[in-house]
Structure 1
Amino acid sequence: MKTIKSITVIHSASRNYKEALDLCIGSAKSEDVVIKNVLPVNEKDIDKVIGKKESDLILVIGGDGTMIRTIANLIDHEIPLLGINIGRLGFLTDLNVDSISKVLPEVFSGNYQSEDRPSLNIQVDDSESLIGINEVVFHSGTVAKMLNFSIYQEDILISKHKSDGVIVSSATGSSGYFFSGGGPIIYPTEEVFAILPMFSQSSSSNPLILPNKKKLKIKLKNSVKASIVVDGREDFEVYQGSEIIISKNESSYSLIHPHGYDYFEACRTKLSWGQPLINLDD
């Protein structure tokens, strides 16, 4: 793989990142890797501060939230990312503080794996489109208050629902909120939309996985106010007759993983997925 000659470091604005940052800087200097920028994730106009293809790698110090926000902000810059976890779960962040000094020099020398992942483009009526890395959630905004809505692929009706809402996830997002709602885990490079109705009145509203080549459209039918939330951050109100258009974003993003990275091990260790209740090795 390509050797890394320059990096940008993006760090959490709320967590204690200093130790991890010092270790990253030390590793970079020891390998003669140029540090182009060190910025908090909430830096104003961060997409303008960092130039397109300016660095060979973006190191992201934080949790999954910091990683998702950085990807969304810089997805058009065509720079791969590697996450360093100082949060809790850290499903998108491969390294921890203790492994930085050992693993980063290997990554800088080109000993790593790389993968491209798709993202979502979300537009409500004629508003400016948003980028979703994990999911978009369409919901009533009130506990136990149901919505009437329909889901279309382009202009073809898929289903009509009366439920608390629906989650539309990327493959990457299938291990997040979508998974918590009972959806399946999908390998993160798959080009799909994963659809999961929330607390449906129907007993047959199961998850649905579709290729992401065609747009999805959600139409709110009843006269109540509803909301959409993108990646747990962007929250918008929608009204009767509103249309939410979800499409494949033209830009994908690249994640770098240390050599030997195993997605299924991450599922087992971080989500307890597939773990038996008893030790089957005995």
Structure 2
Amino acid sequence: MKRVGILYHPKITAAGALAEELAGFLPSLNAAVWLCSAWDEEGARAQLEGTELILSVGGDGTILRAARSVAPQSIPIVGINLGRLGFMTELSAEEARDRLPALLAGEGWVDERAMLQAELAGKQPFQALNDVVLGRGAISRVIYVETTIDGTPLTTYKADGVILATATGSTGYSLAAGGPILYPQSREILLNPISSHLTFANAVVLPPTAIVELKVRTDHQAMLSIDGQIDLALKSGDTVRVSLSPHVARFLRVQPLNFFYSILMERLVPK
């Protein structure tokens, strides 16, 4: 019997309803099921033992939470879209019931995505599927970010902030900030300043082995953001160390291997 976890968006009524429907349906496929709000990452981690598949019911934000929750175990995730963009999700709500029997029977392929690890003194390391952002706080003034790569100073950005993104995150905030799109299975790290002023303004693609240190200098508040979902206040002098995570996110796919390119324009360019 397979053990399946269902993580759902707690503020989308339809997500909770579909999660309950799937929880009632999956035992007929010889699967044991548990449910949890995707926003309760600690609660989800407590139920992971023995879990072989995670269903993420919501949108791309729900997948980000699911990926962080299961990161140490690298349990495959199937995204069921009830959000807006659904760039990372695999199935529509209408497809879920029909396609899940085949997935539980072993069909599909696993899409592995790199993650980032961010370290801040006094805190446990954070895992990010999309990006780690060191940016200004509520006050609309630039911050200074001393940036070092593998112990070698690169530059001090005078900017709204700095984004470090994975290939998955290259189609998110970094793209909006003028960064390039990396192919999905790339393990490179994207370094991209936000609204840089009179300093180096171009994105840089770093190797998977790179260790990046960002030291903030400011006389007002700065923030560290993990996937745009976990925010921590920073003070002047704080240093964030970012590297490739030892963990990966694994997505169970039924789409063709080259699906990314076929949906790129469809999902990102307004009609």
- Whether the TM-score (by the shorter chain) exceeds 0.5 is yes
Whichever of the two has the greater Rg, that structure is 1
Please report how far the alpha carbon of residue 166 of structure 1 lies from its aligned counterpart in structure 2 after TM superposition: 1.0
Q: Is 1:111–1:259's contact at 8 Å kept on the other side of the alignment?
A: no
- How big is the alpha-carbon RMSD for the aligned residues of Structure 1 and Structure 2? 2.2
Q: Counterpart of 2:133?
A: 137
Structure 1: give runs of 5+ residues left out of the alignment: 276-282
Q: Counterpart of 1:280?
A: none
1:110 is aligned to 2:116: no
* 1:1-282 equivalence runs, <5 A: 5-16=2-13, 17-21=15-19, 24-25=22-23, 28-30=26-28, 32-43=29-40, 45-52=42-49, 54-142=50-138, 144-202=140-198, 204-260=200-256, 262-272=259-269
Please report how far the alpha carbon of residue 217 of structure 1 lies from its aligned counterpart in structure 2 after TM superposition: 0.3
- Cα deviation digits, residues 7-30 of structure 1 (max 9, x gap): 221111111224533553465344
> Alignment partner of 1:228: what SS?
strand
Give the TM-score normalised by structure 1. Answer: 0.87
> Alignment partner of 2:256: what SS?
coil
Bigger CA drift: 119-128 or 262-271? 119-128
CA–CA separation in structure 1 for the residues paired with 2:237 and 2:2: 52
Question: What letter matches 1:157 in structure 2?
Answer: P
> Alignment partner of 1:77: what SS?
coil
Please report how far the alpha carbon of residue 259 of structure 1 lies from its aligned counterpart in structure 2 after TM superposition: 4.0
Q: Is 2:155–2:200's contact at 8 Å kept on the other side of the alignment?
A: no
Task: Summarize the Cα distance change of 1:109–1:128 in structure 2 as closer, same or farther, 3 Å threshold.
Answer: closer
> Alignment partner of 1:240: what SS?
coil
Structure 2: give runs of 5+ residues left out of the alignment: none
* Identity within the alignment, %: 23
- Cα deviation digits, residues 29-62 of structure 1 (max 9, x gap): 44x231231222234732443133x122111111
Q: Counterpart of 1:279?
A: none
> Alignment partner of 2:56: what SS?
strand
Task: Summarize the Cα distance change of 1:208–1:257 in structure 2 as closer, same or farther, 3 Å threshold.
Answer: same
Bigger CA drift: 38-47 or 252-261? 38-47
